[in-house]
Amino acid sequence: MVFSSMLFVFLFLPANLLSQLLLKSPKAKNIAMLAFSLVFYSWAGPRYLLLLLGMVLICWAGALLIQMWEGTPARKICLIVTLGLCLLILGIFKYTGFFLSNFQHLFGVPKVIPQIVLPIGISFYTFQLMSYVIDVYRGEVKAQSRYWLLLLYASLFHQCIAGPIVRYKDVNRDLIRRRTKPEEVSAGISRFTVGLAKKAVLANGCAVIADQLLLTDAAALAAVPAMGVLLGAAAFTLQIYLDFSAYSDMAIGMGLMCGLHYRENFDYPYLSGSITEFWRRWHISLSSFFRDYVYISLGGSRCGTGRQLLNLFVVWFLTGMWHGASWNFILWGLYFGVLLAVERFVLGKDGQRFLPQVLRHGGVLILVMFSWIIFKYTDMSLLGTAVKGLFGLNHNGFSSASVSLLFKNNLFFLALSAVAVTPLGKWLREKLRQLSERGEIFYMINGVWEVVHPVALLLLSAMALVGDSYNPFLYFQF
């Protein structure tokens, strides 16, 4: 089940919200939310639910032992064992095939590589549970004595499949007290419908354009003109932001409807003036996880230049690996590691300021767009073909009539999608709110807007989803 499905929007979510409305005590609300979350996670098949239950059990017991053994050497051993088991389970399911296939390529063994299906959402809930255990070890939170509450934290259907990565200390109080406010429910409905429209209308529309140009057949891809590859890369750049930020919008919105407050996961990253700024704005929950639990633990920026470089590349190697068991993701991570190292150790702040602002923003956008080509192709030969095609090295020409026609037919849609990655809509909404405080006419307009726009976006999304029975979010695969 996905958020952008008719079943979820018109049956599962209303049933969940109704249960939260009718039940009064926080405990009853939490039990109902847990039941809905486990049904949601089990929808594609219940077999991996046991894996989730087992990983939560490991972290629940590990955290309790860490807290109980305060001040003893056994405490650190327990931390290492707990985290090691989590990483081992993640590694078995996510990376066994990758490592064995590379070993087979080098040494000819094993003859048969086991096909292990990747449990949906395993990367996200593993990182959430690991952050909980580490925070207990650091004394930032108390260990949760009730297993089912920790299971609820890890399995919340709002975000357990594709994030954002929610830290236990950010939602612990909400889970225990669970208070919903009418204004937050209203804001949550608005945020959810905005996310749904971004996914169903804009992201899926950009995907159609990108898939027509960034082909998965080598011969056909080689024939795509350079402008076609560029247009496909631009469409995919819009798609991946609109798709992933839409999921985060919907998760945050559903949380608000139920009295849960999740942190923002995106802050208009395509407006960044540097790669460093881009990663402060893109997938904030993941980048902050690696910063707080890996980079700083390795010494961060408190050591010499050589060690800082090593720490940086370790983090970005792991970031690439987290996204998938494929060489292109490792290359993608190291690509950003190199760019960040150049910014920090070569250009520095003064070097970056020397460039005009428009060049800084344009340069970042070009570098990020190129990164998404690397991200797109898990087949390295196809990746090479796409990169060569971008520079016309496949004897593919500059443009063609079909590419020009595709661009002209979708010019308005692409412009609308480009506007959607900026804060223009948010700015206009804030202006309307400010005006509503100054005059009765604007107050009425604002009131009508608050009622009409979620309904309009819901209807628009429903029309886009009719007949589109399966449109998963890109980050489901991670």
Residues assigned a catalytic role:
323
The closest of 2, 1, 474 to 239, measured between CA atoms, is 474
Concatenate the DSSP letters of all residues of 40-79 into one string: HHHTT-GGGHHHHHHHHHHHHHHHHHHHHTTTSTHHHHHH
AA letter at 425? G
The closest of 312, 263, 265, 289 to 126, measured between CA atoms, is 289
AA letter at 299? G
> What phi-psi label fits residue 397: left (phi over 0), alpha (psi between -120 and 50 degrees) or beta?
left
H/E stretch holding 329 reads: helix 327-341
Q: Compute the distance between CA of residue 108 and CA of residue 257 in angstroms, rounded to an integer.
A: 55
CA 304 → CA 299, 307, 309, 412, distances in Å?
Answer: 10, 5, 9, 51
In sequence order, what are the residues at sequence separation of 6 or more whose Cβ sits closer than 8 angstroms to the Cβ of residue 54?
Answer: 89
Q: Judging by beta carbons within 10 Å of its beta carbon (0-12, 13-18, 19+), is residue 250 exposed, middle or buried? A: buried
Residue with tokens 């150790």: 345
What are the residue ranges of helices labelled H in 139-283? 147-155, 168-177, 182-197, 204-213, 218-222, 226-257, 275-281
Is there a contact between 256 and 184 (Cβ–Cβ < 8 Å)? yes
The closest of 23, 28, 309, 286 to 165, measured between CA atoms, is 286
Is there a contact between 43 and 120 (Cβ–Cβ < 8 Å)? no
Is there a contact between 386 and 251 (Cβ–Cβ < 8 Å)? no
Other residues' Cβ atoms within 10 Å of the Cβ of residue 76: 12
Is there a contact between 8 and 472 (Cβ–Cβ < 8 Å)? no
> What phi-psi label fits residue 120: left (phi over 0), alpha (psi between -120 and 50 degrees) or beta?
beta
In sequence order, what are the residues at sequence separation of 6 or more whose Cβ sits closer than 8 angstroms to the Cβ of residue 96?
Answer: 114, 116
The closest of 279, 261, 257 to 269, measured between CA atoms, is 279
